[in-house]
Each structure stands twice: as structure tokens, then as C-alpha cells.
Amino acid sequence: MKIVSIATSRKKGTKKTCVREAELIAGHGLNGDAHAGKWHRQVCFLASESIEKARSRGLDVTFGDFAENIATTGIDWKNIPVGTQLKLGEKALVEITQIGKECKKKCAIFYQAGDCIMPREGVFAKVLEGGVIHSGDKIEFLLSGNQVLQWKNGTDIPVRHLLIGEEPLSIRIQGKPYSVVMRTPGDEISHVAGFCLAEGIVDSVDDFKTLAFCDGEDTNVVTVILTPSRNKAVSDLLERKGFISQTSCGLCGKELIKDINQTISPLSDRIKIDINKALLCLESLSEHQPLRKETHASHAAALYTSGCRLLAAAEDVGRHNALDKAIGKLLLNRKLEKASLLVLSSRVSFELVQKAARANIPVILAISRPTDLAVKLATELNITIACLARDAGLFIYCGEKRLKR
């Protein structure tokens, strides 16, 4: 994106004369130009591509003929929202104030050129910071708030997106720091409850003496106090030096499977699930993802009964966090024993199998395929893993006997 030409005129409504450089004055416009002044249309822009199109239609026009101050290349001006700020050259800064304009009468430009594209394709701006600009200077978008650049058809377009939030959550157990996880704010108490179950810190909700925010709900710290008997039972786990969470951040350098800091028994074969109903749960997962509909950036985990009735669903920027939140909701409501089917929006990784096993959930269905290590661990723990097939149906990787078909 750059400046192709700069033009000024002493009178409004007339063709402008091209110059190699000019001074932009803050709160005024181009020095010596008739459009400058204390109003919202201090500088006007037009794409050089628009001028070329006018030439291709047979109009004898060149830069400045449509009364534009600055002709540019690489910018699709009609899609630039009002309020967008641009840096011109080394220091000049402008803000877009108007897209197009209404011409109440035909001006000299129309009669000289045979048409005037400025009302349709011109863009107007005010000068926030002054500076000298030159033909050939670069133009940069200064993005703010929820603006991002969309690269489309060879041009940059600033567009507004609602971005998903991410903040650290500090988990303190028995008054001491235990882990810090990155998560999407919300459901913190459920998140920590599910996290504690996955880590082997608790086996049931009765193991919690207290589970609360450290200082009001606006903090990023949750404190867990265990019952005396549970604290004694997991004292070795809590006192382990150099511990790094193995279920919310991957293995983090630990040895694989053999170094898991808990013993998980293989799950029983008593649960059977109708494969058609399970597939429907997977295909309808998006119905339980309101955050994804807004941001296109969240993972989801949903838990169902063996009859495929929804029990809980949760979303988060992290797939591990989403699962912890969903499991935590059921744990706190004493309904976790009803969960038999886990549906995930992500791939199935080793850590997610570990979390499902801790929660005694025998079947995992996911949008994406599992990792090799996940299938190996699921096979050892007698857990079913399946994912969407490319054309239709499911790929089943292990535990196929649980899916009735």
C-alpha cells in the first residue's frame, strides 16, 4: 500500500495539480489546498485502480482530475470503515471520516472528464498528526481494539472481529501455588474442580472442604482447601518438587505413560451406546457452542448419558480447559457418574484420554483424529475412540464393541 500521487488545488470543484510532496497539517489538511480547513473532509483519497478503470472506459483522465488529494494503490477504499486510522509516510496520521459523498450538482470535473467517480469511490479523512508526505510513501493501517487485517484479492482490508479472551488462572491448594493455566474467563470454580479430579487431587466433591475465589469473583486466583483426610491421602502429590501440571498443558517434559502420577484402572465394558445416536451428538456439537459462533476460536466439550442425553457442555480457548469445565460442572452437581459419552471439537490427545479416564467416561467422539499415543493409552484403559469420517460415518480406532450398530 502506498501513495501514487499527491495533488492540490486553490479552488474546490476543479481538477488538481500534481506535486511530488506536500505538507499535511494537523486539524487542517494539505497545506495550500482548497479542501483544507476545520471540518471533517480535510483530505480526500481515491484508488489509482479506480482511475485506471475510468481510463479503460475511454475517459481521458489522469491523477488529480477527480479532485482527489491522494491517489493510492493496494487499498480497497470502499470497504474501509469510518474511524480507521492510517499512517502516511514517516509521521503523518489521518482518520477516515466519510465514505463517498453526495453531489447536488455537476461540477467542472464532470464536464471535463465525462464522469466523476469521487462521489461513489472517494474517501475523506481528517488529519490527526501532521507531516510531509511524498509520492511513493508507504501507507500503514493502525489497528485498534477489535480490528484485524483481512488480505483479500491482493489488498488489505481492516475488519472488526470479536476475539476470544485468554487470561491466566492461578490454582492454589492448601494455601500454596499448585499450577497456572491459560484459559478463557468463566466457569472458574467448575474448571478447578474438574482440574483437581483429573490431577488425582480429589476423587469426589466430598474431598473439597472449600473451593472459592481468593478475593472476589474478579480475580484470577482460585483456592482449594481439602478435607483433612484427603489432604493426608494426597500429601505426596502436593509436596512433589518441580511439579508441572500434566493434564492442562500436555506432558511438559515428563516421561510418557509410565511416569503418570496416578493409577487409573481400565474401564468396564458394561456401557453400550447406539452408534447412530452418538454420531448425531457429534454432528450437532456446534449447537452447544455459542462462543464459537461469535469468535470462531473456541473449543468445546460435551458430556452425555449412555442414552445420548446432554448433561453438560463447556467452551474455552483451550481444549483441555473446556473438558475440565464440563467435567467440573457434573462433579459439583454430583452427576458425573451419569456421563458415558464425551464429544470433543478438537483432536483427541493423550491428556484428554487421561482426563476422561479419571472421570470414568468410556466413550470419546471427536471432530478430528486422535494421536497415536492417545489410541495406545485408550486401548490400555479400555476406552472407545472414534472421529468423523471424511465422507460419512465414523472412524473407530479402539473399543469398537461399545458402539452398537
Q: Which residues are catalytic?
A: 249
Alpha helices in 200-318 (DSSP H): 228-233, 235-239, 275-283, 290-295
Give burial (CB, 10 Å; 0-12/13-18/19+) of 55: exposed
End-to-end CA distance of the chain: 59
Cell (9 digits) for 380? 490400555
Radius of gyration of the chain (CA): 31
**Could you give the count of Cα atoms lying within 13 Å of 393 in the half-sphere of its Cβ?**
4
Residue that has been written with the C-alpha cell 452425555 in this structure? 304
Which residue, 49, 30, 39, 146, is CA-closest to 89? 30
Contact 341, 305 (CB under 8 A): yes
Taking the mean position of all CA atoms in its chain, how far away is CA 113? 47
Taking the mean position of all CA atoms in its chain, how far away is CA 356? 26
Which residue, 40, 160, 140, 27, is CA-closest to 98? 40
Which residue, 123, 229, 220, is CA-closest to 179? 220
Q: How far apart are CA 296 and CA 322, in angstroms?
A: 15
Strand partners, 73: 2
Q: What angle in degrees, to the nearest 10, is found between the helix axes of 372-380 and 350-358? A: 30
Residue that has been written with the C-alpha cell 466433591 in this structure? 205
Q: How far apart are CA 331 and CA 337, in angstroms?
A: 9
